[in-house]
Amino acid sequence: MKFQPPPDEEKVYAELASFFALCWQAIEHGVGVAVAHFSSKKREVDDGGLAAHLTRYHAKDFLDAHNADVEFEREELSFSGLLVMLVRNDRRYVLRIRRSSDGSLPFPETETLRAFYKQPKQKYLPGFEPADAEAAGLPETHLMVLWSTPRDYSRVLDLTVACPRAVGEDEVKCHWQFAIPHPSTVTTVMASSPTPKFAMPPHTRAPAWSANRALMPGWYAVATPASAARASMTIMLKIETGGMGRA
């Protein structure tokens, strides 16, 4: 077996953007229910373990209720742990969703988590896979989605996703890690053509089809209309420097 590098950040975000948005909503829902539990007893959040458990439990219910919107499978874990599997573009993604107090990958205290941090090796070299897709098996990537809150659980501070690489003596190394933008900061733009074209590279200029419109830096979900040849598709686009599009 040969190890193949996992997909990069842009590919992962493009393929899992809709699920990441759902994660934000699920965790915020769970945090809100956890805070309401303590408020009903006229207490501040004085038990972080219980608050985290309540968050996971209700986030799990929220995810299950929206499975039809974003297709995925969820595996039941003890203590309301969150483990989700998604297949996108012939790749299986396995995600664990956990709280992190400082945004870093938690050190594995169990052999199960230590094994999860090891990216699976690909059985076949690219181009030499069996014709039968089931025999070849889908390449698999393990990801950790980390959420954090203040001690009082007043809000969700951030969500990040990390691709673990190796476990050191006292730390976990990763291939990459990036912040997942909140859904409210992602703007959906309708393209006027099934195949949008860009006047300049997307990291420096706005798309050509947004003529006379300045785009602020941020993530944009570009929804292209359906055509006779293919269905509608969504492209995730990151604008790092605002600019004016030109036809």
Q: Which two tokens stand for residue 169?
A: 């003596």
When comparing pLDDT for 247 and 193, which is higher? 193
Q: Confidence class of residue 207 from pLDDT cuts 50, 70 and 90?
A: very low
pLDDT value of position 239: 57
For the cut 50, the answer to whether the pLDDT of residue 247 exceeds it is no
For the cut 70, the answer to whether the pLDDT of residue 86 exceeds it is yes
For the cut 50, the answer to whether the pLDDT of residue 200 exceeds it is no
For the cut 70, the answer to whether the pLDDT of residue 198 exceeds it is no
For the cut 60, the answer to whether the pLDDT of residue 230 exceeds it is no
Q: Give the pLDDT confidence of 157-173 residue by residue, as tens digits.
A: 999 999 998 887 778 88
Q: Confidence class of residue 238 from pLDDT cuts 50, 70 and 90?
A: low
When comparing pLDDT for 28 and 216, which is higher? 28
What is the Cα–Cα distance from 144 to 52, expressed in whole angstroms? 16
What is the Cα–Cα distance from 126 to 106, expressed in whole angstroms? 33
Alpha-carbon torsion 33, 34, 39, 44, what sign? Answer: negative
**Nearest of 146, 141, 174, 177 to residue 9 by alpha carbon:** 177
Q: Which residue has the tokens 């996971």?
A: 56
* Sheet strands (E) in the chain: 73-76, 82-88, 91-99, 140-148, 158-167, 172-179, 187-190, 214-215, 218-224, 233-239, 243-244
What is the Cα–Cα distance from 8 to 10, expressed in whole angstroms? 6
For the cut 80, the answer to whether the pLDDT of residue 231 exceeds it is no
Q: Give the pLDDT confidence of 108-158 residue by residue, as tens digits.
A: 888 999 899 988 876 554 454 545 445 457 899 999 999 999 999 999 999
For the cut 50, the answer to whether the pLDDT of residue 242 exceeds it is no
What is the Cα–Cα distance from 206 to 240, expressed in whole angstroms? 10
The stretches of the chain forming alpha helices (DSSP H) are 9-40, 48-65, 111-116, 133-136
pLDDT value of position 109: 84
When comparing pLDDT for 239 and 244, which is higher? 239
* Other beta carbons within 10 Å of 184: 8
Give residue limits of the domains in the chain. Answer: 9-181, 186-244
